[in-house]
Amino acid sequence: MRLRAKWVLPVSAPPIENGVVEIVGDTITAVGQLAGANRDLGDVVLLPGLINAHCHFDYTHMPVPYRASFADWIRDIVALKAQQAPTDYLAGIQTGMQLALQAGTTTVVNIECFPELITQLPLSPLRMIWCQELIDSTRHQALPAVGMGLSPHAPYTVSAELYRRCAQSGRFITTHVAESLEEDEMFRQGRGRLYDAFHQSGRDMSDCGHGGPVELLHNYGVLGRHCLAAHANCLTADDVRLLAETGTSVVHCPKTHRYFQRPPAPVPALLAAGVNVCLGTDSLASNDTLDMFAEMRELSRVFPALSPSQLVAMATTNAAIALNQTVRLGKIAAGAVADLIAVPVNGHADPAAAVVAAEKAVAFMMINGKVVRE
């Protein structure tokens, strides 16, 4: 099959006007201004499918109001989770997957609290990277079988021992870290609302008051190219340096950041230091959409100096780097998997700008070489 588009945006290479992508089976075999296209997609930008690098489909039907305290929000979502039946979670996961597909996402890194539900889901074309959430106080303390990524929740809910076991496993790890000012205050200063909440619950607080949470994860051996740090909003210059030196990737969730009314995230500092930054939607407990286009636009609103090309890379190639899947995902190139979407050009001279501005339904979608939307 050969697909022709007004613009082919490989992301890993310059855009190609009147470009053609050749696909054999599930793999892209050639890209360029090739002859003999047997399918013309028209006045669209053809680009790699978007990669949502941080999501919680479990919470799709669980909106949680924010009342000015992250500690209170955590307490509220824990209480709400306790009220849900397995069928509620299953329905939420299914709805979340459908919403992601509708918004042009082809790959999702999903943090899963209940991995036993995965086998109960109907088949979906969505490429899922399941990461089991690990919290010391839950039944999920044992590491899951090989085949799943690991998601030790956060430094305030995961012990040094469990973090070290995850780091020593050699598997892909994603963890929340340095997400809020309350977390920063808890670890750096040994005080604050989050500190008080966990102290009252009986948590061992001996890891607090000695340094920030990023430094703590570094001491546990967690940081590295196998690690995707979620949020990383409250960072010192030393934290940024640690992330850069260890090759740790960061996933930023712009609309969730706005939801919690946080000051601007250190995205420019991370990029300037050479940290690989990608994007995620988080969940509908702290967002009103699972649309990666909306995340790109929100980041552009906060940091207008970021170019459309940078924004698209954060939703595609940068995420593939974070997942250590640069050969197969996040780009249009020979040897990459045929995960493709198309959006209207809508008069934009810059195809990347057309992608960031796209607000209508994706005009075409292919996952693993199979057309799933036209």
Torsion of CA 227, 231, 233, 234, to 10 degrees: -50
Q: Residue 227: what pLDDT?
A: 98
C-alpha to C-alpha distance for 293 and 276, rounded to whole angstroms: 19
Take residue 146 and report the two structure tokens written for it: 């090989």
Are 183 and 154 spatial neighbours (Cβ–Cβ below 8 Å)? yes
Q: Residue 147: what pLDDT?
A: 78
Instruction: Pick the closest to residue 244 from 220, 214, 207 (CA basis).
Output: 214
- Name 5's bridge partners: 19
C-alpha to C-alpha distance for 231 and 323, rounded to whole angstroms: 16
Q: Which residues contact 119 (CB under 8 A, 6 or more apart)?
A: none
**What are phi and psi for residue 257, nearest 5 degrees?**
-60, -45
Q: What contacts 24+ positions apart, CB below 8 Å, involve 199-206?
A: 203/156, 204/159
How far from chain centre, in Å, is Cα 33? 32
Q: Residue 137: what pLDDT?
A: 58
Torsion of CA 98, 104, 107, 113, to 10 degrees: -40
- Name 151's bridge partners: 133
Q: Residue 214: what pLDDT?
A: 98
Are 274 and 251 spatial neighbours (Cβ–Cβ below 8 Å)? no
Instruction: Pick the closest to residue 134 from 114, 150, 118, 110 (CA basis).
Output: 150
Instruction: Pick the closest to residue 359 from 339, 344, 337 (CA basis).
Output: 344
Residue bearing tokens 């459908």: 98
Indicate the SS3 state at residue 330.
coil
Tens-binned pLDDT, residue by residue, of the chain (374 aa):
999 999 999 999 999 999 999 999 999 999 999 998 899 999 999 999 999 999 999 999 999 999 889 999 999 999 999 999 999 999 999 999 999 999 999 999 999 999 999 999 999 999 999 999 999 854 456 787 667 999 999 999 999 999 999 999 999 999 999 999 999 999 999 999 999 999 999 999 999 999 999 999 999 999 999 999 999 999 999 999 999 999 999 999 999 999 999 999 999 999 999 999 999 999 999 999 999 999 999 999 999 999 999 999 999 999 999 999 999 999 999 999 999 999 999 999 999 999 999 988 799 999 999 999 98
Q: Which residues contact 63 (CB under 8 A, 6 or more apart)?
A: 284, 285
Are 180 and 171 spatial neighbours (Cβ–Cβ below 8 Å)? no
Q: Residue 243: what pLDDT?
A: 98
Q: Residue 152: what pLDDT?
A: 97
C-alpha to C-alpha distance for 265 and 243, rounded to whole angstroms: 15
C-alpha to C-alpha distance for 156 and 217, rounded to whole angstroms: 11
**What are phi and psi for residue 80, nearest 5 degrees?**
-65, -40
C-alpha to C-alpha distance for 118 and 120, rounded to whole angstroms: 5
Q: Residue 143: what pLDDT?
A: 80
Question: For the chain, which domains are there?
Answer: 2-48+330-373 (2.30.40.10), 50-322 (3.20.20.140)
What DSSP state is assigned to residue 27? E
